[in-house]
Structure 1
């Protein structure tokens, strides 16, 4: 689900304090939208330093870039500004609290291109903008389930309706784990192999439990019981099975697989749900075991290797 492009005005209002922004000129372009257009042949980057050959959507001018412009002869300087303040440039940002030369203000007004100033150093401004825009403009996908922070990793509880996801989440919360989103967590790809899950604003802090209705987890358990976002590391899929069928499950390997979201493979465990099973303890164990696997330890491989050594020793004896 692609995210609608945001405007320069919204970017300014949202991150004015965090990026130490102030508006210098070019208010007429406030509603210009920032986003990647697949049909755009220029394929311009979202943020970058001054580049008149391959201009970015948001161009940052630091001390070096301003010195370069001011060192040009008058004709070349005017041509460079005309080029700088036209498409595909959507806004120009002067970093480091440096004053804007009058010619830049005039060019911004003439072309209706926003000219913003920031007190941040140019490298920090570039990194922060790139991070915020990547997060804001990343495609998102809603996955039905409950997203939690269990043992310090993001765990998504999925399964059929009425399988007991919310009841399991409530028990995990009482055991000290953290709720991120119930029912409809949103996931965005924020890196080549990183998916970040968050909660829609309407559902923040709430958990629906059949028989109890909506519960405000923050009000009941305090601020430490909820979190705004977390990177997805593990999916636990709850699967109802008859108690007699549990014996058919592979006792050594378990039910491990992967689920693909945004072309990222996420480890998934099929966790059988049957009377008498303590699911909260099992999810905690699954999270701990996943952390061990990520650190290179495989309990099954260790057990098989130990068995092999034991058999070899008995054969020698």
Structure 2
């Protein structure tokens, strides 16, 4: 899902950093910066003035002002009209501390298209806006689970309701790991294979619900370092109940690495079976350590099989 973002939202978010001011076209503050149906949201939204392939946010700097000044009166009027009536254009920003020309102000008010001004250089304005829009318009989804930082890795605990995800999270907190979000996690794809998870809205990131205890304030109970606002997702731990029939079919060597797709990104997944006497917190830590080893290029199963094969070869050799 691509979130909706208007020009007014963009102004409020970047007014401080870019020292933006409204020059004209306030009636167009509800214009969408990207259609909800966009195939690649956040891509090529901002750039210097371009009449051939118009940007959603057209930035006018020193060179663009000089270009408009060199045009003949009729040609300039035609170009200005084309700029402010283009369906693709959502906003125009005059940078470099230049005062927006009167004809641009009139055209913006007539077309109800936001015209903003910034004293900062146009490359700085473009960099700030492109970075902000790429993240603000990134695809996102909400997943049921508990999101933790374990040994510096983002770990999503998944499983059916009542299986013990929050209790496991509480035990991990007691082992000096960190909570990011309980019950619902919002994931944002900020790169082709990068997902960042956070608490939806952010206001409830300090709280953990545990059956029998109610709502716990994690920050107050475990300290400031026990809570983190967002983290890249590295590993999914799926909790399942013990099932003898399922256990008989289980690949005990885990020769095939499981993955789960979230927003078209394949994330490594391990399955932990919940049962009496199993220390799930230790198992989660072991799963994270194993994942880190794989990141370093260490394949434990491959090394185990090579050693086993070497032992078998030695036993077959004639005495």
Same fold by TM-score greater than 0.5: yes
Name the structure 1 match of 2:67: 68
Name the structure 2 match of 1:51: 50
5+ residue gaps, structure 1: none
Shift of 1:9: 1.3
Instruction: Spell out, residue by residue over 1:277-317, the C-alpha distance to the aligned partner (whole angstroms, 9 max, x if none).
Output: 22112112211221221332211112222333344455456
| Secondary structure in 2 matching 1:79 | helix
Shift of 1:14: 2.4
| Segment drifting more, 114-123 vs 179-188 | 114-123
| Secondary structure in 1 matching 2:17 | coil
Instruction: Spell out, residue by residue over 1:228-282, the C-alpha distance to the aligned partner (whole angstroms, 9 max, x if none).
Output: 2222221100111169986864332277411112222111111111222221121
TM-score by length of 2: 0.88
Shift of 1:54: 1.5
- Structure 1 distance, partners of 2:305, 2:81, is 70
- Structure 1 distance, partners of 2:120, 2:241, is 54
| Segment drifting more, 88-97 vs 162-171 | 88-97
- Structure 2 distance, partners of 1:298, 1:279, is 23
For residues 305 and 71 of structure 1, do their structure 2 counterparts lie closer, same or farther at Cα, with a shift above 3 Å needed?
A: farther
* Contact kept in structure 1, 2:2 and 2:36, CA below 8 Å: no
Compute the RMSD of aligned alpha carbons: 2.7
2:158 matches 1:158: yes
| Secondary structure in 2 matching 1:185 | strand
Name the structure 2 match of 1:176: 176
Shift of 1:92: 0.7
Shift of 1:119: 4.1
User: Matched residue pairs, number?
Assistant: 314
Shift of 1:213: 0.4
- Structure 1 distance, partners of 2:92, 2:9, is 15
* Contact kept in structure 1, 2:258 and 2:270, CA below 8 Å: yes
Shift of 1:185: 0.8
2:83 matches 1:84: yes
| Secondary structure in 2 matching 1:97 | coil
Name the structure 2 match of 1:185: 185
Shift of 1:120: 4.1
- Structure 2 distance, partners of 1:211, 1:253, is 35
* Contact kept in structure 2, 1:179 and 1:226, CA below 8 Å: yes
| Secondary structure in 2 matching 1:70 | helix
| Secondary structure in 2 matching 1:31 | coil
* Contact kept in structure 2, 1:29 and 1:112, CA below 8 Å: yes
- Structure 2 distance, partners of 1:18, 1:225, is 30
Shift of 1:107: 2.6
For residues 235 and 45 of structure 1, do their structure 2 counterparts lie closer, same or farther at Cα, with a shift above 3 Å needed?
A: same
Name the structure 1 match of 2:106: 106
